[in-house]
Amino acid sequence: KYSRQIATMGLAAVRKLVKMKVLIVGMGGTGVETAKNVILQGTRAVTLFDPAPTEMRDLGVNFCLSEADVGKPRDGVCVPKLQELNKECLVSAAPELTEAVVADHTILIITTPMPKNELIKWNEFCRSFSVTQVDASGTLAQVSAPISFMYCFTGGAFGSVFVDLGDKHMVLDPNGERPMVRIVTEITNDEEGLVRFVIPDGEKAESLPEGCSIEFEDVEGMFCTDEATFETNGVNINKRPGGWRTYRKKGDPFGTLRIGDTTKLSPYMGGGTFTEKKTPTEVKFRSLASCTTHPGELPMTDLINFGSEYHQHVALQATLDFQVAHGKLPTPNSEEDADAVLALAHKFVNAMKAFNESTPNASIPAIDLEMMGGVNEDIVKKFARHSAVELQPLGAFFGGVLAQEVVKVGGKYTPVPGFLHFSAAETVPDTPPPDTAPVGSRYDNLISVFGAKFVSDLGNLKYFMVGCGALGCEFLKNFALNGITCGPGGRLTVTDADRVELSNLARQFLFREDTVGKPKSTSACAKATQMNGGFTPEALEMFVGPKTEDHFNDEFWQELDGVCNALDNMEARFYVDAQCVKYSKPLLESGTMGTSGNVDPVVPYKTKTYRDGGDAVEGGGIPMCTLRNFPHLIDHCIEWSRDQFEAIFVKPVKRAKVFAEDPEAFLQDLGDKAKGDASAVAKLIPDVATLINTLRSAQGATVESCAQLAFDYFHALFRDKLVDLITLYPKDARVVKDGVDKGPFWSEKKKFPTPAEYDPSDPVHAQFMLSTTHLIGQMLGVHTPYGGDDPSYLEDKRSNEWINGVVAGLTVPTYVAAAVEVEGEEKEEGEGDEKGAAAAVAKADPTEVLQGLLTDLASFRGTDPARLEPADFEKDDDYNFHIDFVTAASNMRAANYAIPPTDFSKAKLVAGKIIPAIATTTAAVTGLVILELFKMVQEKPIGDFRNRQIGLAVNNFTSFEPDEPVKKTQRVKMVEPDLSELGPEDFDETGKIKESSLREERTAAYPDKHSCWDKLLVPNDCTLAELVEHFKQEHKLQVSRWGLKNDPFVYPPKPVFDPAVFPALDLPKNKAFMAIRGDGRVPQKDKMTVLAAWEKAKQTGELPKQGKSTLEMTITELLAEKGGVTIEGRKMLHLEGISFKGTAGTQPTEDTPAGSLEGQDIEVPEVYLVLA
């Protein structure tokens, strides 16, 4: 259930969460979002306190509330609905907020607009809290045990968070990133020892943190040479307590770092890795009272409006002061109240200035806005106008931020250091709308800021949501609460082809245990409709791509107002992005990876497309040679083991079923392949051999025969392949290229392996045999089918003692040499070094080997495939032996290569390709996306949109304006002519071509400065000849070439001839050619073409029929016949691949000289045919 969360935060952090008790005061938007996320994360208990009666406006920010709850206490209504999210977390409501109630919790979070004096009171109580314990002497003593305190204020488009985790908070891991691993290649013996290293295959090429500590492992040599060094460093460089502190010096080469004095260590002999060591750091937090006046350095959240965080801090304090003075927050849109807050802001700043003047040289001065031009009156008044209004998107965002701060209480990640201020003021209308008066609606908060018309516009949107997982669930909730698509003219189409999995429940909050296995789209939409009676999304179970364009057709896309992506793969993202470009639709794009997230609004004609953004890439992979023969990290072993799962338990059975259904066709197909090149044949040999073993084992299979096959695999994978490898490349093998010795073969990324022998006392050996035996038993039908998630399945056959009892009766297979599959550099390095049995096998005729196997395979005709069942890898079931196999096989492989082993959890994460994902990041990102949607509806200028990148682990909130689309324009560059065109006078004394001899190359674009959003539209279907004329007349462009999938020469058209020009078919070739040469109807350039057609006709006995020139065909006919395009139901057809040249009249700009582009290639936008 928590696999994605563990992948992000680690098992230790998740275990700490289940011990926490969180008290949340306030069940507005931020409070309920925080509660949701904390509960989903698996916290032990969550207590709510908000006895205020539910109002209609609350329904627009709190997804737990409905019309029937108006007048009821908010906390009491929320408890049962939040409890549904996680039965293991106790959710309750506190009858009152007392010291005893707070003392019963580990964390207090205040999200209600509590007066400042009350906030400070509770913060001081939490900071000073202590417990009575028995000390070492046996006497009772008061021990400080501060309760973590958090506060959040949101008003309009502004929000602030305050965090206080006490005087002594330990940060165990500041960023949550996996410690970096590097391979050591050299360590010098110097007073400032230099370590040279390389990056392992599959690892990111990023720099180590400055001044980080590292720990060495498996370094050979570097032993202590005296007693003093031994006391400091241990036996050798690998054993130093606390690791080695690193640093760099100016001028140090790339791929190096320094570790201090290594002169008292013996010389480096080779090998080894080092791993970044996370060092615990103590952080001292200050009280709310102190940070109010002395906030210190505030986290930067706005890169566009420098210093706005400090102005917002002043605005917050002034607003809270107004609340204390008037007993309420400023009335929404009241200029009088806003002016009063502004006066308080000036008073606060002046007081802080006086404080600084009276306390010079203080370590932390009071806030000072003098360097920033004093009080920013615009920010203060904007803050005040809507300080009493809660916007749901900001609640979702801060609910994610606060819940992540709860995780940080356990020491994982970097907490907010006091105050953090965030603003989305650019979302608010530039001038106050005239229709902001409340109407007693669930949307009154929105109306107060954006006006009633805006809410109506939101309701009548027609949107398409692609994906309904973690992002999709949050988006559905946000759409429902904000009334998006909920109006009479609104429509939301949601599609997702996936089904709910158990692991989804910890972050995809619209799913429950009873929806596991059901479609995501229908399950999520059914739950979301309960939040708003006007929300009626259409749920589909379809992929979005070329294969579903019959459903998601031109009409569907053209009717949309926009698209909201909730996807987790790049291929689908790029497809949707391309469709939005085609139909000029705005796109809301976002994504998460662990604690990091991004928001990318794509606005037609105003921003780059998602694809053009440049940062959208998926991770690379590990080279096959590394997985196959040269692993050096445990991840390599896990990836290899996952491949072996397919090779042993999936592919052989699938092949066996195909063989059993039609043996003759199967053998014929392999026989045909055996006639191919030797390398292709060699790759077939192990597959056929495995198939034969599977078929042989399936005959009268028993547990013992399954175990024997598992035993054979044990020796083949962990003994035989290694023997083959080290026979081909002995330990003293050298790399020799072009007669030059390049050093030892086994170095850096190549670790010399040690073959295994089965040891019944080794639990890894036993676990490999146990899991493999049972998986083979399932595969061959020996075991009863597994029902799923059943710890009692084969419970009497799960012990090491049981499997070792079976192994005692098995036969150790004889080693048989086999060829080693090498490629690339290793293949070159191994040339001339082959020896022994492996070399003999490598030089054997693979075709003869395969033919022998095919003869053996033929004897299995008549095999009944009914009992055979391939495994279906399932990472989220801990009892099906799948991850057991991967873990055991990975650790066997690791032992072969002296790599530290893995555990079950990491094997599951890597083999299952589990993407780190948590509810907090998803909630925060989707809240920010809705703000961008608000801007789209208001048709805001590009300067108001924000690309955002957030990192909840380290409090990184980066916002910047989107880039404009890439524009195609005219450009001129000087290029070198062909050398054949130059003479001696064109070169200077150095042999370079003179600038005066360079020729001008002009690239033209039509229209000038067009982007991918622009299009050339052909208004009606027409013939190709008419299309060519259309571009000449309308755009002064000449079609130069057009090719389609089934005909690359649509234009210029191929010649079409009357059958009368073909000579009689009974003529000899020479006379036919003479007749064609003398026929004036055939142009000279086409005579050989006609002769070739005549020869073909002579062979078939039929003359060609009268053809039709492509010029005479309509565009739709061409697309259908020669492009394979389905025309029915289409309204907009892409005329892909048309090339253009300029004519005498082509003038993209007024400055383009007439005729200067004639005959030149012209870049144009995509061309579309629009059908009525």
What would the mean pLDDT of 1101-1106 be, rounded to a whole number? 76
Whether 368 shows a pLDDT value over 50: the answer reads yes
Annotate 760-820 with DSSP letters as a single string: TT-HHHHHHHHHHHHHHHHHTT-SPPP-SS-TTTTGGG-SHHHHHHHHTTSPPPPP-----
- Tens of pLDDT, residue by residue over 1024-1051, are 999 999 999 999 999 999 999 988 889 9
* pLDDT tens-digit readout, 696-728: 888 888 999 999 999 999 999 999 999 999 999
Q: What average pLDDT is seen over the chain?
A: 89
Does residue 468 carry a catalytic annotation?
no
pLDDT for 787: 82
Asked if the model's pLDDT at residue 840 lies above 70, the reply is no
User: Is the distance from CB of 685 to CB of 853 less than 8 angstroms?
Assistant: yes
Mean of pLDDT values over 1157-1165 = 90
| Confidence category of residue 956, pLDDT binned at 50, 70, 90 | very high
The more confidently predicted of residues 679 and 211 is 211
Residues 86/90/93/96 CA torsion (nearest 10 deg): -150
Residue predicted with more confidence, 1172 or 1020: 1020
- How do residues 408-424 score in pLDDT, each as one tens digit? 999 999 999 999 999 99
Span of 458-467, 661-670, 835-844, 885-894 with lowest mean pLDDT: 835-844
**CA 1001, 1007, 1009, 1011 torsion-angle sign:** negative
Among 128-137, 245-254, 825-834, 1059-1068, the least confident range: 825-834
User: Could you read off the pLDDT of 592-615 as tens digits, one per residue?
Assistant: 988 999 999 999 999 999 988 744
Quick one: pLDDT at residue 19? 85
Kind and range of the H or E element at 194?
A: strand 194-198
Q: What is the DSSP string of 515-570?
A: GTTSBHHHHHHHHHGGG-TT--PEEE----SGGGTTTS-HHHHHT-SEEEE--S-H
626/628: higher pLDDT:
628
Give the tens place of pLDDT for each residue, 300-343.
999 888 899 999 999 999 999 999 999 999 999 999 999 999 99
The whole-number pLDDT of residue 596 equals 92
Q: Name the CA dihedral angle for 632, 638, 643, 646, rounded to a multiple of 10 degrees.
A: 160
Q: What is the mean pLDDT of residues 135-155?
A: 89
Taking residues 765-790, what's their average pLDDT?
91
- Which residue type occupies 367? I
Q: What digits encode the pLDDT tens for the residues 218-260?
A: 899 999 999 988 988 889 999 898 899 999 999 999 999 999 9
Classified as helix, coil or strand, 845 is coil
pLDDT at site 907: 87
Structure tokens at 452: 């009633």
Q: Alpha-carbon distance 394 to 423, whole Å?
A: 9
Task: Give yes or no for a contact between 30 and 390, defined as CB atoms under 8 angstroms apart.
Answer: yes
Q: In the sheet that 1047-1051 helps form, which strands lie side by side, from edge to edge?
A: 971-975, 999-1005, 1161-1163, 1139-1142, 1037-1044, 1047-1051
C-alpha–C-alpha distance, residues 177 and 638, integer Å: 19
Residue 617 confidence (pLDDT) above 70: no
Task: Indicate the pLDDT class of residue 838, thresholds 50, 70 and 90.
Answer: very low
Contact 150, 416 (CB under 8 A): no
Please count the other Cβ atoms lying within 10 Å of the Cβ belonging to residue 115. Answer: 15
pLDDT given at position 1: 47
Q: Is it the case that residue 836 has pLDDT exceeding 50?
A: no
Helix and strand totals (H; E) in the chain? 37, 38
**DSSP helix/strand/coil, 148:** strand
Does the pLDDT of residue 1145 top 70, yes or no? yes
The torsion defined by the Cα of 525, 787, 908 and 498, in degrees rounded to 10, comes to -20
d(CA 238, CA 497): 51
pLDDT at 3: 55
- List pLDDT tens digits, range 272-305: 999 999 889 999 999 999 999 999 999 999 988 8
CB of 920 closer than 8 Å to CB of 401? yes
The reported pLDDT for the residue numbered 618 is 41
Round to whole Å and give the CA distance between 250 and 887: 44
Query: pLDDT digit string (tens) for 648-681?
Result: 999 888 888 888 888 888 888 877 776 666 666 7
From the list 152, 525, 625, 706, the catalytic residue is 625
pLDDT of 675 reads: 67
Give the H/E segment covering residue 999. strand 999-1005
The pLDDT assigned to 828 comes to 47
Instruction: Provide the pLDDT confidence category of residue 771 given band limits of 50, 70 and 90.
Output: very high
Q: Helix or strand or coil: residue 1006?
A: coil
Would you state the pLDDT for residue 514? 86
Quick one: what percent of the chain has pLDDT higher than 70? 94
pLDDT interval class at 910 (50, 70, 90): confident
Q: Which two tokens stand for residue 839?
A: 């070399």
